[in-house]
């Protein structure tokens, strides 16, 4: 095995024509030696026939069946006119059968083998000679067939390796895209919520700083609280980006217990917030808690920025193996067209993020006008189990 490997490494850089020419020279030398050592004193043209039996070998890799047949004519003539001068092991015949088995189509391969075996039996003067000739031809054919099979297997394995590489690259690209989308959602939710509250309070503060100093102080306190909360959450995200050993999930993730703080900050912005966080939720997976928190946070951000509402209601409760999250306001809402349903409402980047967060937990989130087109409603159902049933939520 080691010798074969060393031989392949040495001959890998050689031209195929050089190797085949060397085989042709060896085959011609064997044939000439057989003529020279025969008991009969053969004329010069017999030596020429012996040499010409190997003339086709340098082009065997590109040989068509016709060229191979024409190239075998000298050996046929030599076998007829000077049978005893044929070599015991004709290298040109072995290499020729090897080439047929390795490179020709299945129909051509088996047809040539059948013709050669019949010719070996008919053209040999003794049973032992016929058997030896048949074994020689079949041996070359078997070797060529094995090499052909190995080459086909190598091509199949190479194709599989290429496809596996493409799949790996595709999966890596998809993982990168998903991670970028996840980080974008985190940054959007954190900054959009905090900045919205800060802008509203900053706009309201100067208006009441003289007439109602206490309210102005509360506005500035809200700005500070929103900024500090945003900084804490941004450190979580940036910590994951900086630390290559950090897990995929941000830790610690915000949970349902922190919704009270979010609601209080929104109250300071001037909205009446009704938070219904049902008791007895039981064990809620961390990813579901984080998704519910972000969904409520983004829904409140949209209410503060766009709705013009003065009241918003938040309801979080458990229904079997599903966590229900509903955020509704009494703002101006959006026009509900006759052909548009809540599930068909597209919304902006924040609403897309809400749907993506719910989908990541195996759930569903929808947003759109409230009942009778009044206000705006965001609803989500997040399975609490690994295979929770996702149901459609109407507006």
Q: SS3 for 215?
A: helix
Tens-of-pLDDT digits for all 395 residues of the chain? 566 556 566 655 667 778 878 888 888 888 888 878 887 788 888 888 888 888 787 777 776 666 677 777 887 777 777 777 777 778 888 888 888 888 888 888 888 888 888 877 776 767 777 787 788 888 888 888 898 889 889 999 999 999 998 888 888 888 777 777 777 777 766 666 667 667 766 666 676 666 667 766 776 777 777 777 777 767 766 666 666 555 444 455 678 888 888 888 788 777 888 888 877 677 788 888 888 888 888 888 888 777 777 888 899 988 888 888 999 888 876 654 433 433 444 445 677 778 888 888 888 888 888 777 778 888 899 998 743 433 333 33
Cα dihedral across residues 15, 17, 20, 21: positive or negative: negative
Q: In what order do the strands lie in the sheet with 272-277?
A: 272-277, 311-319, 322-329, 376-383, 364-369
**Can you tell me the distance from the alpha carbon of 339 to that of 337, in angstroms, rounded to the nearest whole number?**
5
List Cα–Cα distances, 153 to 144, 146, 148, 156, in angstroms: 14, 11, 9, 5
C-beta of residue 137 within 8 angstroms of C-beta of residue 120 = yes
Write down the pLDDT at residue 156: 92
Peptide bond into 37 cis (omega under 30): no
Measure the CA–CA gap between 332 and 369, rounded to whole angstroms: 9
Domains of the chain from N-terminus onward: 2-123 (no CATH), 271-395 (3.30.565.10)
**pLDDT (0 to 100) of residue 189:** 67
Predicted confidence at residue 1, as pLDDT, reads 52
pLDDT computed for residue 157 by the predictor:
92
Q: Angle at CA 300, nearest 5°, toward 295 and 304?
A: 150
- Contact of 79 with 72, CB cutoff 8 Å: no
CA–CA separation, 74 and 91 (whole Å): 14
Residue 193 has what pLDDT?
A: 66
Contact 50, 32 (CB under 8 A): yes
- Give the whole-angstrom CA distance, residue 277 versus residue 314: 8
Alpha-helical regions (H) of 209-269: 213-242, 259-268
Q: What is the CA radius of gyration of the chain?
A: 42
How wide is the angle at C-alpha 165 spanned by C-alphas 164 and 168, nearest 5°? Answer: 85
Neighbours of 281 (CB within 10 A): 15
For 344, residues 6+ apart whose C-beta sits below 8 A from its C-beta are 368
Give the C-alpha separation, 105 to 373, whole Å: 73
Per-residue confidence (pLDDT) for residue 318, from 0 to 100 = 87
Write 68-72 long-range contacts (CB < 8 A, 24+).
68/96, 68/99, 68/100, 68/112, 71/96, 72/96
State the DSSP string of 134-147: HHHHHHHHHHHHHH
């Amino acid at each position: 095995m080691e010798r074969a490997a060393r031989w392949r490494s040495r001959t890998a850089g050689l031209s195929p024509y050089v190797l085949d020419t060397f085989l042709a020279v060896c085959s011609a030398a064997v044939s000439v030696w057989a003529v020279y050592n025969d008991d009969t004193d053969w004329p010069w043209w017999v030596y020429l026939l012996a040499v010409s039996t190997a003339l086709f070998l340098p082009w065997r890799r590109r040989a068509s069946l016709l060229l191979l047949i024409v190239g075998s004519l000298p050996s046929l003539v030599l076998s007829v006119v000077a049978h005893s001068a044929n070599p015991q092991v004709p290298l040109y015949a072995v290499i020729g059968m090897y080439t047929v088995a390795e490179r020709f189509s299945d129909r051509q391969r088996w047809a040539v083998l059948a013709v050669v075996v019949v010719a070996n039996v008919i053209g040999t003067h003794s049973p032992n000679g016929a058997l030896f000739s048949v074994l020689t031809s079949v041996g070359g054919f078997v070797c060529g067939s094995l090499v052909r099979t190995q080459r086909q297997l190598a091509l199949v394995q190479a194709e599989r390796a290429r496809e596996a590489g493409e799949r790996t690259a595709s999966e890596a690209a998809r993982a990168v895209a998903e991670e970028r989308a996840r980080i974008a959602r985190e940054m959007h939710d954190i900054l959009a919520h905090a900045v919205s509250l800060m802008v509203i309070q900053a706009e309201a503060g100067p208006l009441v700083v003289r007439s109602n100093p206490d309210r102005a102080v509360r506005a500035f306190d809200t700005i500070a609280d929103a900024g500090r909360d945003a900084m804490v959450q941004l450190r979580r995200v940036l910590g994951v980006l900086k630390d290559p050993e950090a897990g995929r999930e941000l830790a610690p993730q915000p949970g349902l217990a922190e919704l009270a703080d979010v609601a209080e900050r929104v109250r300071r912005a001037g909205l009446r917030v009704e938070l219904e966080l049902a008791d007895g939720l039981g064990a809620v997976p961390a990813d579901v808690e984080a998704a519910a928190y972000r969904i409520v946070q983004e829904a409140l951000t949209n209410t503060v920025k766009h709705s013009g509402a003065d009241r918003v209601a938040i309801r979080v409760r458990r229904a079997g193996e599903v966590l229900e999250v509903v955020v509704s306001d009494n703002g101006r809402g959006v026009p509900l067209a006759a052909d548009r349903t809540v599930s068909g409402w597209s919304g902006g980047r924040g609403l897309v993020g809400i749907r993506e967060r719910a989908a990541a937990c195996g759930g569903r989130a929808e947003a759109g006008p409230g009942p009778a087109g009044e206000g705006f409603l965001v609803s989500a159902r997040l399975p609490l189990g690994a295979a929770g049933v996702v149901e459609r939520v109407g507006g």
